[in-house]
Amino acid sequence: MDTRMWNGLVGVAKETYTASLSEGVVPRPLMMPLVRGELVGLIWVRPLKVGQDALAGIAELANIAAAAGADEVVLAWETHDVATACELPIVGPAPCLNMVLATPAGHVLHQFPYSEQLLSRSSQGWASVAPDWRPAPEPQPGGELVPPIQAAVNFSFTPIELDHPDPFGVTVMLMEEDGYRISLTEAFAR
């Protein structure tokens, strides 16, 4: 992936985090699959129940990438949010926006730690915060990924065997029905 594309995807993720955190919400895990350098779209995980459902829901992000024949994927997630949803120990900096760039040959983990600056608190106790981005550690080739993210990376490059004239279109439709939020780029929209 070229530097301009990577920087653009990091920018989108950071903007999404800034906007969501200001509303008191941590963004759900997000996948951005690419085919020959062309962004397929943005896929946010469906609403999750804590435990096995969260593990499966995050791993299933791979379905669109696999159906599109992606040769690169970028996943973004928040350390504490995924650990809590999947009942896993917190590994690495928290709070932290993690992004992994993966190909069939391997992956590189990028971490963007931040501290939260309180903007306001609602009467219901919801905190509106702004991320104060901290210096990012060096990218980690082959860096350790939490199990559901590792599963999503692995399955992204496993071809989907679907006996249908439009396996990509039917995969998108089924995932939207399951509650995934999908925003395809013009090149992949049907």
Q: Tens of pLDDT along 35-60?
A: 999 999 999 999 999 999 999 999 99
| pLDDT of res. 55 | 93
Q: How many CB atoms lie within 10 A of CB 177?
A: 9
Which percentage of the chain shows pLDDT scores above 70?
99
Mean pLDDT to the nearest integer, 171-178: 92
* CB contact at 8 A, 110 and 97: no
Distance CA(129)–CA(117), nearest Å, equals 5
Residue 168 CB burial class (10 angstroms; 0-12, 13-18, ≥19) = buried
Side chain identity at residue 76, one-letter code:
A
DSSP, collapsed to helix, strand or coil, labels residue 172 as helix
DSSP, collapsed to helix, strand or coil, labels residue 30 as strand
Which of the pair, 165 or 8, is modelled with greater confidence? 8
88 Cα distance to chain centroid: 17
CA-derived radius of gyration, the chain: 16
pLDDT in tens, 100-158: 999 999 999 999 999 888 877 777 777 788 889 999 999 999 999 999 999 999 999 99
Query: In the structure encoding, which two tokens stand for residue 6, read together?
Result: 């990577």
| pLDDT of res. 127 | 75
| pLDDT of res. 153 | 96
Q: Comparing C-alpha atoms, which of 172, 185, 153 is closest to residue 36?
A: 185
CA angle 62, 73, 165 (to 5 degrees): 50
| pLDDT of res. 190 | 60
User: Residue 98 carries which DSSP code?
Assistant: E
| pLDDT of res. 86 | 92
* CB contact at 8 A, 98 and 76: yes
Answer whether residue 189 shows pLDDT above 80: no
| pLDDT of res. 79 | 92
* CB contact at 8 A, 100 and 167: no
Answer whether residue 20 shows pLDDT above 90: no
| pLDDT of res. 166 | 86
